[in-house]
């Protein structure tokens, strides 16, 4: 697969939970805390507050371009 996609959520510390980075292969429309953060580290009533603190970004990269660039640089 020449296109690698993922959603990356960076969640800062919240109450007694340490910060964490979550990655998951999901579509761009599902790139949010509720679809990516698993297992959810906080109980039901705190989920919304926890998710509001998380920053989620959809990322796309081309493996072929990375491999070709590496060969050129190393060659």
pLDDT tens profile 2-42: 458 899 999 999 999 999 999 999 999 999 999 999 999 99
Domain contains 2: no
For residue 61, name the pLDDT band (cuts at 50, 70, 90). confident
Q: How far apart are CA 4 and CA 10, in angstroms?
A: 19
What is the value of pTM for the model shown? 0.75
Token pair, residue 60, equals 């796309």
Q: In this predicted structure, what is the pLDDT of residue 60?
A: 87
Domain count, the chain: 1
Q: How far apart are CA 9 and CA 40, in angstroms?
A: 12
Domain that holds residue 35: 7-73
Domain contains 13: yes
């Amino acid at each position: 697969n020449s296109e690698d996609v993922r959603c990356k959520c960076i969640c800062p510390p919240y109450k007694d939970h340490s910060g964490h980075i979550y990655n998951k292969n999901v579509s761009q429309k599902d790139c949010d805390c509720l679809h990516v953060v698993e297992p959810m580290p906080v109980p039901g009533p705190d989920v919304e507050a926890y998710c509001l603190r998380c920053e989620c970004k959809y990322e796309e990269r081309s493996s072929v371009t990375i491999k070709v660039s590496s060969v050129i640089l190393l060659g």
